[in-house]
Chains A and B, each alone.
Chain A
């Protein structure tokens, strides 16, 4: 037995000093993002009204490593390096010969991986002289992470929170308040886009698409204000690679290398974070056999049932067109409890790697993932976020396959956040009120066959 440790820590001074940029390791460059008006490839200046230049350059960088500014490292040290756990108790419960490891990102103050990018984003905006950041949040994880980060760098923060979650997750809103941010239920009368929606339907529950439109409008109409996105874009995924880089060191310290790497996918940031360093090795041929698995909800199966095409990032069609797997920018995913996985598209790099077969994707129903989350809580103790429970389900299923085949695989998954503010979702699970939403793929394809094509697609 190599190691019977449960926690595999990493010293603070071993925390990564730079992020890993996977773009130069791709066999060919990504299809460029297109301007929504002209259909032409974007140039950096197209994005300056809402993003600081440093982030725009990262978005398109061809450098393999990008230094983490010391001021950012100092904040990340509040919780990083995060612990890697060997799930001995879960392994025993599953009677699997597999070794299961999980990287726990729930130790950050806001409770998820989201501050890994919120902190550098706030930092670069502060450096660029920006005074306020506007953003949207669905379930509240991203909003609370950005509130935490902006407060550290002395920026103001305005968060448009989808109205239904605003009512259902009061403590997320309280956290944002403690960190000094302003949290507004969306749609609001603060913006033109919000007012327009309210006028049409005062009872609307809101949606992520509407909240994005409000935040973008807020940023575009205020000189001192920028916009910030918590997932999907390449620079967000870049910042998350600290997760996988730490895992590689931690696993090496116990003489392991993963056979399987697993993460849940909303816009793709935590999955990119844990998998890109390993995907890079796979692309370079140093570890060709690693299986990399993205897990998504059956109700919003972007990677398993979407189309690989150019599409907008938001409902209104204001954002650049990205080449990605998409269910259509006007698709409103059903209201599953894993609010952070309700997104019609995915990060373009992940999309490309899935398309090329470097990574694969699986989808699960709500009741299946909560069942796994319960098993995890009853063995390892941690009550995971509904989003994270998707990764837990896939890890358990991989371990069960090993029980059948007798293989002793090393399975690594990203435990992206705790679910301490999501207990009503668990309540619904126990009350047997979870609805297993599905995506009627065949019918949707037929219904779309008459729609006009988007430019550039």
Chain B
């Protein structure tokens, strides 16, 4: 039997409908603007599809979980955390996660947005996998299922197989809500969580046969890029954040910072965790350099989200033709469009309508570039 930690952020998503672009610290404002809680309904949709499955739920009292389970007729649950006040917040989410960790849950199923994902990740890291039922205002993190129904599908499949989920790395994004309310989207890669998924490529397209194993796909990309690097020992390679570029570092046998920009030349690590200034000084003096970067978060963002170090000045130095985008077929399959938002519109537009994304050993995919940054709600 599967043990699921089930957690609802009862106020997630409330700010969106009333134009608050996020609910962190804004609950009262949202309520006074007439917002109605959105996440309980979304969570119920998922739970109602899990009734027939043998699952042991660990949850929190009241609106943070218990109410939804009992309303949906689930009896196999245990309350492992009780928030002190009706007004719940980040400390409650984090305390609940500590309880889930202690009780050895197989997975945390939560309902919320980017803020909730960040709070959970700050406690469990990648030691306990998480899956989000989408309900927040912003969902730039890659831990969310596309719909509440899809979340139920993923849980069912893993539980029916006795808890043998397929996991992938999923970026957790930190969005600066203050800045966001002022109209600028500033995100940062907060961490890389483990998240279950269904190998949609195999099941969906029937005929086109892809390896369901995303780790193997990363290795294939890494093997190829390593050979490219070996063939061009004079070029400085800057590896961006994320687990795909980390796989490249693994392949060449260097230690890379997971969330930062590191520089490699001739197979050796030249600098780590570079900021804009560091990048610019490395690039000075006509150094030929390439930027290897992957798609960050759930919205198909390549430049701009979680990659602020790579400023327009840095990009001008590197040059458009020296940007190598990498992503697994799995990631690309759930990313219909990619977005460029480097802060230099002319630079972005110079890519045209399509961009080539290296997706395996000696293979790339042509992806359409979306016209507006992927903002707002999840589809």
The verdict on A428 contacting B228 (CB below 8 Å), with A435-B332, A437-B364 known, is no
A332 at the interface (CB under 8 A from B): yes
In the A-B complex, the 8 residue pairs with the smallest Cβ-Cβ separation, listed nearest first, are A447-B227, A446-B231, A164-B209, A436-B366, A438-B364, A449-B231, A424-B207, A440-B364
Set of chain A residues within 8 Å of B365, measured between Cβ atoms: 435-438
User: Once the chains bind, are A424 and B362 in contact (CB under 8 Å)?
Assistant: no
Complex Cα gap A182–B316 (Å): 60
Complex Cα gap A331–B227 (Å): 14
Set of chain B residues within 8 Å of A450, measured between Cβ atoms: 227, 230-231
Interface residues of B (CB under 8 A from A): 204-211, 224, 227-228, 230-232, 324, 329, 332-333, 336, 356, 358-367
Chain A 137-161 near chain B by CB (<8 Å), digits 1 or 0: 0000000000000000000000000
Q: Can you name the residue of chain B whose Cβ is closest to the Cβ of A424?
A: B207
User: Once the chains bind, are A446 and B232 in contact (CB under 8 Å)?
Assistant: yes
The verdict on A448 contacting B208 (CB below 8 Å), with A365-B366, A435-B332, A440-B356 known, is no
B224 partner, pick from A205, A336, A443, beta carbons under 8 A: A443
A337 at the interface (CB under 8 A from B): yes
Q: Can you name the residue of chain B whose Cβ is closest to the Cβ of A428?
A: B205
Complex Cα gap A437–B361 (Å): 12
Q: Can you name the residue of chain B whose Cβ is closest to the Cβ of A204?
A: B211
User: Once the chains bind, are A425 and B207 in contact (CB under 8 Å)?
Assistant: yes
The verdict on A447 contacting B207 (CB below 8 Å), with A365-B366, A437-B365, A440-B356 known, is no
Set of chain B residues within 8 Å of A440, measured between Cβ atoms: 356, 358, 362-364
- Size of chain A's interface in residues, with CB distance under 8 A? 35
Complex Cα gap A296–B334 (Å): 27
Complex Cα gap A298–B365 (Å): 10
Chain A 335-364 near chain B by CB (<8 Å), digits 1 or 0: 111000000000000000000000000000
Q: Can you name the residue of chain B whose Cβ is closest to the Cβ of A139?
A: B207
Chain A 428-457 near chain B by CB (<8 Å), digits 1 or 0: 100111011111100111111110000000
B360 partner, pick from A334, A425, A432, beta carbons under 8 A: A334
Interface residue ranges of A399-437 to B (CB < 8 Å): 424-425, 427-428, 431-433, 435-437
Set of chain B residues within 8 Å of A448, measured between Cβ atoms: 227, 231
User: Once the chains bind, are A332 and B230 in contact (CB under 8 Å)?
Assistant: no
A299 at the interface (CB under 8 A from B): yes
User: Once the chains bind, are A335 and B227 in contact (CB under 8 Å)?
Assistant: no
A433 partner, pick from B204, B224, B324, B366, beta carbons under 8 A: B204
Interface residues of A (CB under 8 A from B): 164, 167-169, 205, 298-299, 331-332, 334-337, 365, 424-425, 427-428, 431-433, 435-440, 443-450
Interface centre among A335, A424, A432, by most B CB within 10 Å?
A335
| Nearest Cβ on chain B to A430's Cβ, whole angstroms | 11
| Nearest Cβ on chain A to B61's Cβ, whole angstroms | 43
Set of chain A residues within 8 Å of B232, measured between Cβ atoms: 446
Q: Can you name the residue of chain B whose Cβ is closest to the Cβ of A447?
A: B227
User: Once the chains bind, are A438 and B356 in contact (CB under 8 Å)?
Assistant: yes
Set of chain A residues within 8 Å of B359, measured between Cβ atoms: 437
In the complex, 15 of the A-B residue pairs with CB atoms within 8 angstroms, ordered by the A residue number, are A168-B206, A168-B207, A168-B209, A205-B211, A336-B208, A425-B207, A432-B336, A433-B205, A433-B208, A435-B365, A438-B364, A440-B358, A440-B362, A447-B227, A447-B231
- Beyond the given A334-B363, A335-B209, A427-B206, could you list 10 further A-B residue pairs with CB under 8 A, ordered by the A residue number? A169-B207, A299-B363, A332-B361, A336-B208, A365-B366, A435-B333, A437-B365, A438-B364, A440-B362, A448-B227
Set of chain A residues within 8 Å of B329, measured between Cβ atoms: 435
Complex Cα gap A335–B359 (Å): 13
User: Once the chains bind, are A337 and B230 in contact (CB under 8 Å)?
Assistant: no
User: Once the chains bind, are A435 and B358 in contact (CB under 8 Å)?
Assistant: no
User: Once the chains bind, are A331 and B231 in contact (CB under 8 Å)?
Assistant: no
User: Once the chains bind, are A424 and B227 in contact (CB under 8 Å)?
Assistant: no
Complex Cα gap A449–B358 (Å): 19
| Nearest Cβ on chain A to B376's Cβ, whole angstroms | 22
Complex Cα gap A446–B205 (Å): 33
| Nearest Cβ on chain A to B124's Cβ, whole angstroms | 31
Set of chain A residues within 8 Å of B361, measured between Cβ atoms: 332
User: Once the chains bind, are B231 and A428 in contact (CB under 8 Å)?
Assistant: no
Set of chain A residues within 8 Å of B211, measured between Cβ atoms: 205
Set of chain B residues within 8 Å of A331, measured between Cβ atoms: 362
B363 partner, pick from A365, A437, A449, beta carbons under 8 A: A437
Interface centre among B205, B207, B224, by most A CB within 10 Å?
B207
The verdict on A424 contacting B358 (CB below 8 Å), with A447-B228, A449-B231 known, is no
Complex Cα gap A439–B358 (Å): 9
Set of chain B residues within 8 Å of A168, measured between Cβ atoms: 206-207, 209
Complex Cα gap A450–B228 (Å): 9
Set of chain B residues within 8 Å of A332, measured between Cβ atoms: 361-362
